[in-house]
């Protein structure tokens, strides 16, 4: 698989982690977007982090991560399901000379939302943006939210994304007092250009060659932006026939924009009539 998340455990160090790799799914998310290169890189790194965190979902649900700021990139939004169906988008200026993450985002916040049918209400966590890179922003989030000590290593290319997460489990220092420092140092030897053509097993074996590594089965990542006209029909019905007809009369058609999936649903009078007769119109 070329689009996957794969967990691992450094058994002798009591350190867990995961590797993420995306290529074709990443290209599908970018299709038709025409983001400036720095924004593409930001979105790619955010995609990797979202999958590394979403892989921990143990039941049906959706993880949404949103960065909002005052800079040229006003918002980055990614979400994924427990089955690792990924979606993402950015709101940004069409051109920007800015390259650094703090200048691109400006002052803002990181908002993490977890929705699960088993929960009475969504779980949300919000922290200020603090860090010079996407990895540092999320490492700060882990510290603020009392998560396990964590390190992120992220890399993007025009056609691929790579990410590595390390997390220090309880009692790791008792098992090996120098293990966490050693694992961080080894992970820092990653060279971007070497990553994209290697399997997770090859990467981990090369990085942690002296450690005992347990590698778990890979989980496939899918593009989460599939057409879902049923939701569009339900939304229009909730507006009511009178409201929808007024839009139709003014514009000649009803256009529903799905920004996160970069898709428009266009409905003419016949399609609207079919919706309110509970038939299945064709959306084009």
CATH for 34: 3.55.30.10
Q: Structural domain of residue 163, as residue ranges?
A: 4-223
Is residue 129 located within the same domain as residue 251?
Answer: no
What's the total number of domains in the chain? 2
Report the C-alpha gap between 15 and 213 in whole angstroms: 10
Max alpha carbon distance in the chain (Å)? Answer: 71
CATH number at residue 264: 3.90.1280.10
Q: Is residue 282 situated within a structural domain?
A: no
Supply the pLDDT for residue 46: 95
N- to C-terminal Cα distance for the chain? 32
50: Cβ contacts below 8 Å, ≥ 6 apart: 63, 65, 78, 79, 80, 86, 88
- pLDDT tens, the chain, 284 aa long: 589 999 999 999 999 999 999 999 999 999 888 899 899 999 999 999 999 998 877 778 899 999 999 999 999 999 999 999 999 999 998 777 778 999 999 999 999 999 888 878 888 999 999 999 999 999 999 888 867 899 999 988 768 999 999 999 999 999 999 999 999 999 988 876 667 788 899 999 999 999 999 999 999 999 988 777 787 888 888 888 888 889 888 888 888 887 888 888 888 888 888 888 864 555 54
149: Cβ contacts below 8 Å, ≥ 6 apart: 142, 143, 167, 168, 180
Is residue 102 located within the same domain as residue 237?
Answer: no
Is residue 115 located within the same domain as residue 234?
Answer: no
Is residue 79 located within the same domain as residue 186?
Answer: yes
Is residue 203 located within the same domain as residue 265?
Answer: no
Q: Is residue 283 situated within a structural domain?
A: no
Task: Assess contact for 216 and 5: CB atoms under 8 A.
Answer: no
With tokens 């999936």, the residue in question is 261
Q: Is residue 91 situated within a structural domain?
A: yes
Is residue 238 located within the same domain as residue 189?
Answer: no
Is residue 85 located within the same domain as residue 194?
Answer: yes
The pTM score is: 0.85
């Amino acid at each position: 698989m070329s689009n996957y998340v794969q967990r691992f455990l450094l058994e002798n160090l009591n350190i867990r982690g995961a590797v993420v790799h995306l290529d074709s799914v990443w290209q599908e998310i970018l299709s038709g977007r025409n983001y400036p290169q720095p924004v593409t890189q930001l979105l790619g790194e955010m995609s990797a982090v979202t999958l590394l965190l979403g892989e921990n979902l143990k039941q049906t649900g959706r993880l949404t991560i949103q960065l909002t700021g005052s800079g040229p990139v006003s918002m980055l939004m990614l979400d994924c399901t427990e089955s690792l169906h990924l979606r993402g988008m950015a709101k940004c200026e069409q051109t920007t000379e800015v390259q650094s993450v703090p200048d691109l985002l400006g002052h803002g916040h990181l908002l993490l939302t977890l929705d699960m049918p088993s929960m009475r209400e969504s779980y949300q966590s919000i922290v200020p943006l603090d860090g010079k890179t996407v990895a540092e922003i999320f490492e700060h989030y882990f510290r603020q939210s009392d998560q396990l000590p964590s390190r992120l290593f992220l890399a993007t290319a025009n056609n691929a994304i790579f990410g590595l997460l390390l997390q220090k489990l309880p009692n790791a220092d008792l098992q090996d007092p120098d293990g966490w420092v050693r694992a961080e140092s080894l992970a820092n030897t990653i060279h971007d250009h070497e990553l994209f053509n290697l399997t997770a097993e090859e990467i981990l074996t090369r990085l942690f060659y002296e450690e005992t590594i347990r590698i778990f089965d890979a989980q496939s990542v899918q593009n989460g932006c599939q057409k879902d006209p049923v939701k569009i029909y339900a939304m229009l019905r909730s507006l009511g026939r009178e409201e929808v007809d007024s839009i139709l009369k003014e514009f000649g058609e009803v256009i529903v924009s799905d920004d996160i999936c970069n898709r428009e649903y266009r409905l003419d009078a016949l399609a609207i009539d079919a919706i309110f007769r509970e038939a299945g119109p064709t959306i084009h």
